[in-house]
Amino acid sequence: MSWSGFKKSVNRTGISLMQGFGAIEKTVDRDFQEKEANFKVLQTKSEELHKQAKAYIDAVKAMTAAQVQVAEHLEAFYDPQSPGGAYSAQYREAMAAIDGHTRAELEDTYLETVLHPVGRYCGYIPEFNAAISKRGRKLLDYDQAKTKLRKLEEKSGGGAGGATPHLEDDSRVAQAEQAAHQAKSAYEVLNQQLLDEIPQFINIRVPYMEPSFEAMLKSQLKFFEDSYTQLQQVGARLPPAASQPLNTIVGSGSGGELGLGGARSVEGGVGTPGSTAESFNPSADHGIEEQVDNVLQQMRELSICGMNVR
């Protein structure tokens, strides 16, 4: 900030304080105050939209990355040569494809059609805020000039003396009138510009955001459809879970490398084409829930689980 700018800033601060004490009159524009309040609401909502839009794509990235991690750790539980090993490997490959291709495709489209357009819209907000601040400064200058002119006029009209004081007063009044006129003109030009353009900026939000909203819906739909296709291909190869004997889940085997008590010796071949994800309804498949409960009960009956070790 230059020295001249610094002096103006200090002077305007003093004007604001004097207005608070009533020493300088303060112009109140109800129309502008209403439009500024509407703009501040738009600013808050727009910036929050941009923040949450970015958080969404970050959350999707975190989700697909977590899916890959879960699939990799799940695969480690199975013997690669067992049917379960084949299923878990296919699941891990599907999760990797979703993370590496499907999610990446969503991100590219989302950034181009949603996040960047919203960011560009929000990018105009600081320009309006700068203009609003400048208007406030011009209004302070105008109020100060009006007050100075009024006081000089009162002094000139009520003062006594000869010709010389009268001429000096007239000269000061003329200078004050010119300064007040210039301050008023500078203020009114910017004030009117904001009165015209703030409503326009607010009104274009819907036609501007609608294409991005449509693009977001379509990109989400494609992402979930492609993810469903990947998972369906894995699900089509799974055997019907409810038909597996319990002794193929928890048996009396040696447990192999992982020591899981025969958990790797899952019987049953590759599922038929009819056993797709479409036929799987977790909320209605009570067989799976019953099977899990039975397995948990067998685990509770193991000697080490009954030792109550603390």
- Taking only the tens place, the pLDDT of each residue in 284-301 is 555 667 777 777 777 777
The reported pLDDT for the residue numbered 47 is 96
Q: What is the Cα–Cα distance from 135 to 132, expressed in whole angstroms?
A: 5
Q: Which two tokens stand for residue 198?
A: 């703030």
CATH class (in words) of the domain with range 12-235:
mainly alpha
Which residues in the chain are classed under CATH 1.20.1270.60? 12-235
Check whether 305 has a pLDDT greater than 70: no
pLDDT above 70 coverage of the chain, percent: 68
Give the residue-averaged pLDDT of 191-199.
96
CA 213 to chain centre: 14
Residue 299 to residues 84, 285, 287: CA-CA distances in angstroms? 20, 22, 18
The reported pLDDT for the residue numbered 303 is 64
pLDDT band at residue 277 using 50, 70 and 90 as cut-offs = very low
Check whether 270 has a pLDDT greater than 50: no
Q: What is the Cα–Cα distance from 175 to 182, expressed in whole angstroms?
A: 11
More confidently predicted of 302 and 257: 302
More confidently predicted of 78 and 102: 102
pTM, two decimal places = 0.70
- CB contact at 8 A, 208 and 117: yes
The reported pLDDT for the residue numbered 150 is 82
